[in-house]
Amino acid sequence: MSFNVLFMAHAPDADWHQHQSLIHTGQFKLVSIMVRDQVEALEAAKEAHEAHQIEFILLCPGFTHEDVAELRQAFDGQIGVAVARGDGPSSLISAEARRRAYQ
């Protein structure tokens, strides 16, 4: 049995059916999926949960508190949901890098 985690990040040009990966060591399974928006995030998370028995979802900093709550509610609170956020300066660096990439 493994600990099964889904990591999701936003990318405006993502096709979540195509832009995903899987790393499985035996004891840890990491599924990563790039999504365009929250609608796709919900759909992708549900499909990943069915396919990989996801127990925890880790989100990129672009997800809002409301997005986190919506994902948690979609799984009736049975799956942990967290956001990877840094300190203030790190968040500014990340925001600037995303702004440059998505222009």
74-97 per-position pLDDT tens digit: 999 999 999 988 788 888 888 888
What is the extent of the structural domain holding 71?
3-101
Report helix, strand or coil for 61. coil
45 or 96: which leads in pLDDT = 45
Please state whether the predicted TM-score (pTM) of the whole model is above 0.95.
Answer: no
Query: Which CATH number is 51's domain given?
Result: 3.40.50
For the chain, strand residue ranges (E) read 3-10, 20-24, 28-35, 56-59, 80-83
- How buried is 6 (Cβ within 10 angstroms: 0-12 exposed, 13-18 middle, 19+ buried)? buried
Map tokens 């004891």 to a residue: 27
Residue 33's closest CA among 59, 69, 62, 7? 7
Domain count along the chain: 1
